[in-house]
Each structure stands twice: as structure tokens, then as C-alpha cells.
């Protein structure tokens, strides 16, 4: 029987190409512990900087807020005096005269008092207070000092008095009472003002400086002789 060679067995199918297997690239699926620690540290530093910046801003705003509050209440007192506001109660009825409106404060105080002064007798010029209200300053804020006519350390409680039908303001103090408000009358028995910070005529404005005790920031309120109230921008306390 003749021998036949089947060449089909030796046929190479060129359509089939061998596949070359390459090693798979190693791609990390997450952070290493060191990388996580670095990221957390950076976030912590950023948070600390933001927090410190905010706290500094917030403390600075406290003293500015206190100054704006004090300025607003001084203008309220001024408007009440100029408009003749005697309230609606019996403390200063229609038969009495309005002596004025005042704001009392003192060095080192964390509050101040506003109220009205009523003259109950034109024979003796007796006075009573009405609608008196104590107002607290923002947290960590205090009256650092009160200055007048070159004296930067007015230690007595001070009253800033606005009177009706008058375009000026007067500054008074109590030499016997320590506290707020000073328990004093603004008029003597003849109806004249007494207890001036300076022997009339007054010749200077008064300054009330506020400070934030948690940060070295201050703000100052000026009340000039015409009664005008102005606020200075906050500054570093000297």
C-alpha cells in the first residue's frame, strides 16, 4: 500500500497569532499609611490657621461691636433729651420737668447705664431717675479708661448728660460713690448744674476707650462739646 503524507498536518494557520502576555501594570488602589498621615496633617494645619484667623477676627469684632453699641446708646440718650422724652410712667409725669438724659460708666466697667433725669420740684430742684437701664458690654470687653482735658485716668464714675432745649453736653462725676451709676444729682438747690469734670466753661471733648481683654485691640468713642458722637476705628492698644 502506497504511503501518503498528509500535508494538511503541516499547514500553519497564519491567522492565528500568538498572544504575548505582558505583566500587568501595578496601579495602587489607595493611599499608603504615610500618605494618609501627611494629608491629615495638612488638613489639621489648614484648619488651625483658619480657626486662629477666625478667632482673631471675632475678638476684633467684639470691641468694634462694643464701640458701635456705646455710640448708638449715646445717640439714643441725645435724641431722648432733645425730643423731651419723659416716658409714659408716673415717675416723670406731665407736672414734672425733664432734667435730661444721661449715660453713666466708669474705668474698668463691663457695663454702662442709661436713663432719664426728672426734676420733681422747681423749689428745691429735687431729682429722680426714670427708665434706667444697665447694658452689658460684649464678652471680654471693658471700659479701658476715660480721658478728659488731658487726664487719661478719670477714676470716678462719669455721667455724660444731655439736656432738653440745649445743643451742648456736660460731663459729671461723683467723688464719693464707686460704682455705676453714680448716685448724684446733676443740679444744686438753685437749679444750676454741679459736679462737673472741669470747672465751667468746659473746653474739651471726652473720650471713652474700650478694650478686648482677650486680645490687644481697642476702640475709642469721642463726645465733643456740641454733643456729637464719633467712633474711631479699632487699633492695637498701647
| CATH code for the domain of 87 | 3.55.40.10
Q: What is the dihedral of CA 76, 228, 113, 59, to 10 degrees?
A: 100
Q: Which domain holds residue 164?
A: 49-236
pLDDT at 238: 73
pLDDT at 168: 77
Burial grade of 104 (CB within 10 A; 0-12, 13-18, 19 or more): buried
Residue ranges of the chain with per-residue pLDDT less than 50? 5, 7, 9-12, 14, 22, 25-27, 178-181
Is position 25 within any domain?
Answer: no
Is position 10 within any domain?
Answer: no
Domain count, the chain: 1
DSSP codes joined into one string, 63-100: HHHHHHHHHHHHHHHHHHHHTT---SSSTT-TTSEEEE
pLDDT at 180: 47
Give the pLDDT confidence of 120-149 residue by residue, as tens digits. 998 888 999 999 999 999 988 999 999 887
Q: Give the CA count within 13 Å in the CB-facing half-sphere of 204.
A: 13
Is position 112 within any domain?
Answer: yes
Amino acid at each position: 500500500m502506497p504511503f501518503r503524507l498528509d500535508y494538511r498536518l503541516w499547514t500553519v494557520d497564519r491567522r492565528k497569532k500568538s498572544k504575548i502576555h505582558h505583566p500587568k501594570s501595578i496601579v495602587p488602589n489607595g493611599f499608603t499609611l504615610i500618605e494618609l498621615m501627611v494629608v491629615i496633617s495638612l488638613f489639621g494645619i489648614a484648619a488651625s490657621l483658619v480657626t486662629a484667623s477666625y478667632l482673631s477676627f471675632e475678638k476684633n469684632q467684639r470691641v468694634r461691636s462694643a464701640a458701635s453699641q456705646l455710640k448708638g446708646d449715646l445717640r439714643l440718650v441725645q435724641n431722648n433729651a432733645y425730643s423731651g422724652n419723659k416716658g409714659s410712667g408716673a415717675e416723670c409725669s406731665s407736672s414734672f420737668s425733664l432734667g435730661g438724659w444721661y449715660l453713666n460708666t466708669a474705668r474698668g466697667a463691663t457695663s454702662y447705664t442709661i436713663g432719664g433725669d426728672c426734676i420733681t420740684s422747681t423749689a428745691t430742684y429735687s431729682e429722680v431717675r426714670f427708665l434706667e437701664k444697665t447694658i452689658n458690654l460684649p464678652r471680654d470687653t471693658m471700659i479701658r479708661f476715660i480721658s478728659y482735658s488731658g487726664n487719661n485716668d478719670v477714676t470716678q464714675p462719669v455721667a455724660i448728660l444731655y439736656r432738653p432745649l440745649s445743643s451742648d453736653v456736660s460731663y459729671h462725676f461723683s467723688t464719693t460713690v464707686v460704682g455705676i451709676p453714680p448716685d448724684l444729682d446733676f443740679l444744686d438747690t438753685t437749679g444750676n448744674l454741679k459736679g462737673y469734670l472741669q470747672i465751667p466753661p468746659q473746653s474739651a471733648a471726652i473720650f471713652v476707650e474700650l478694650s478686648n481683654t482677650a486680645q490687644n485691640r481697642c476702640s475709642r468713642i469721642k463726645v465733643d462739646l456740641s454733643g456729637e458722637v464719633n467712633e474711631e476705628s479699632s487699633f492695637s492698644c498701647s
